[in-house]
């Protein structure tokens, strides 16, 4: 049925007044009207699909937040593990770059920074520790078994790359304490050789140093340097140390007590001296950041907890003064420096004998 002519005229009149084009759907053929309805349907359906896909994508992007809300501890461990892998791979690449530089320069450490030498010293140990976990985690579904194990035993199974800041502080203190408990046995071995030095010209000087250490104070670095000849030959050269003395010295420097003990101690002393040389090349201890000072103290057997920058700088300055007088014939002196320079340091003493 067609509309009355007067109604059609009024609609056209209103359309002209509003400035809109005149559209008369009723005047269009039936096929055109159906096609128009289908296009509207397709457009609306497409909008719904796009909306649904966008909502799903947003859900996926925020899915980790959903998991973190429902399983906070598991997601925390997962994030630490993933970030640790990235950090570990970064240091591994850096380590191999340092190895290439050393091979090309015939192991000339003068071209390396202090941080690079520290990395060269530490990374082989970390790589041996982490390699089984990384290899096992590549197996199908193995990660779901590893995740709870990593959560329960992070110190035993992972390196510091995978630890949180709290764990780094806690485990670092524990490792240092395990090293410091060997200071006393090393000191006792030094004392045991004093009677064999009665005819030596340095007998009184060395006796004064041991007396200070035994009475609760530390000798000055010049007194220690004066007794350097005792570490070039008998009784304190690496070749003349007793088996138990060597074992405690290895543990004091966080080395395993397996094969080639004396050779590994000599290598440890060599790397310590190269680190000290790098510090001097880079402007000395006064130009180091607080974190770098703490790490250097930790490596050399001093507990940096609660020490001021000035105290760390003074101690490292004494260490480097002693190190500058050491050569390959007196590496044993540098290996005993943690005892000779910091045996009675309060921060170490508190760590070994905590207040109950």
Q: In terms of Cα–Cα distance, which of 194, 104, 204, 202 is closest to 112?
A: 104
Average pLDDT, rounded, for the chain: 83
Reply yes or no on whether the pLDDT at 309 is more than 70: yes
Reply yes or no on whether the pLDDT at 243 is more than 60: yes
Provide DSSP, 162-195.
G--HHHHHHHHHHHHHHHHTTHHHHHHHHHHTGG
User: Is 285 within 8 Å of 316 (Cβ atoms)?
Assistant: yes
Q: Token pair of 219, please?
A: 């000798």
Provide DSSP, 300-328.
TT---TT--HHHHHHHHHHHHHHHTT--G
Give the three-class secondary structure for 273.
Answer: helix
Question: 11 falls in which pLDDT band (50, 70, 90)?
Answer: very low
Reply yes or no on whether the pLDDT at 331 is more than 50: yes
User: Is 218 within 8 Å of 341 (Cβ atoms)?
Assistant: yes
Question: 227 falls in which pLDDT band (50, 70, 90)?
Answer: very high
Q: Token pair of 269, please?
A: 């002393």
Rounded Cα distance between 59 and 213, Å, is 65
Q: Token pair of 223, please?
A: 């007194």
Comparing 68-72, 93-97, 138-142, 234-238, the range with the smallest average pLDDT is 68-72
pLDDT (0 to 100) of residue 96: 94
Rounded Cα distance between 145 and 128, Å, is 20
Q: What is the CA radius of gyration of the chain?
A: 36
Residues 33-87 have pLDDT tens digits of 455 455 555 566 666 666 665 665 554 455 455 445 555 666 666 777 778 888 9
Q: Token pair of 295, please?
A: 């790490």
Helices 72-104 and 114-137, packing angle to 10 deg? 130
Which has the higher per-residue pLDDT, 203 or 12?
203
Residue 205 CA: distances (Å) to CA of 61, 124, 197, 229, 241: 71, 40, 11, 12, 20
Reply yes or no on whether the pLDDT at 103 is more than 60: yes
Which has the higher per-residue pLDDT, 234 or 231?
231
Reply yes or no on whether the pLDDT at 145 is more than 70: yes
Comparing 5-19, 141-155, 290-304, the range with the smallest average pLDDT is 5-19
Provide DSSP, 5-74.
HHHHHHHHHHHHHHTPPP--GGGS-HHHHHHHHHHHHHHHHHHHHHHHHHHHHHHHHTHHHHHHHHSHHH
Q: What mean pLDDT is predicted for residues 316-340?
A: 97
pLDDT > 90: what percent of the chain? 60
Q: What mean pLDDT is predicted for residues 194-206?
A: 94
Which has the higher per-residue pLDDT, 261 or 27?
261
């Amino acid at each position: 049925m067609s509309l009355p002519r007067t109604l059609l005229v009024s609609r056209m009149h209103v359309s002209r007044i509003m400035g809109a084009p005149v559209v008369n759907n009723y005047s269009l053929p039936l096929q055109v009207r159906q096609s128009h309805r289908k296009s509207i349907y397709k457009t609306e359906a497409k909008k719904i699909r796009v909306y649904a896909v966008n909502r799903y994508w947003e859900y996926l992007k925020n899915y980790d937040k959903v998991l973190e809300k429902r399983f906070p501890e598991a997601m925390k461990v997962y994030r630490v593990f993933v970030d640790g892998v990235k950090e570990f791979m970064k240091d591994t690449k850096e380590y191999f770059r340092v190895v290439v530089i050393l091979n090309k320069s015939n192991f000339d450490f003068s071209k390396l920074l202090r941080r690079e030498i520290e990395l060269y010293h530490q990374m082989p140990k970390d790589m041996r520790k982490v390699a089984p976990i990384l290899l096992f985690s590549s197996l199908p579904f193995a990660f779901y078994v590893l995740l709870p194990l990593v959560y329960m035993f992070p110190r035993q199974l992972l390196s510091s790359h995978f630890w949180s800041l709290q764990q780094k502080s806690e485990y670092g203190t524990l490792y240092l304490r395990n090293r410091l408990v060997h200071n006393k046995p090393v000191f006792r071995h030094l004392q045991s050789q004093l009677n064999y030095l009665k005819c030596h010209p340095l007998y009184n000087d060395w006796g004064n140093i041991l007396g200070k250490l035994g009475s609760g104070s530390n000798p000055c670095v010049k007194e220690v340097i004066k007794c350097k000849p005792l570490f070039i030959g008998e009784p304190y050269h690496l070749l003349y140390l007793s088996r138990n003395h060597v074992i405690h010295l290895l543990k004091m420097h966080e080395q395993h007590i397996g094969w080639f003990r004396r050779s590994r101690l000599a290598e440890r002393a060599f790397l310590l001296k190269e680190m000290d040389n790098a510090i001097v090349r880079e402007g000395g201890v006064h130009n180091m950041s607080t974190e770098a000072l703490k790490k250097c103290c930790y490596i050399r057997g001093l507990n940096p907890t609660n020490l001021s920058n000035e105290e760390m700088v003074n101690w490292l300055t004494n260490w480097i003064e002693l190190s500058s007088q050491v050569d390959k014939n007196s590496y044993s002196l540098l290996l005993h420096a943690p005892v000779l320079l910091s045996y009675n340091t309060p921060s170490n003493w508190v760590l070994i004998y905590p207040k109950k």
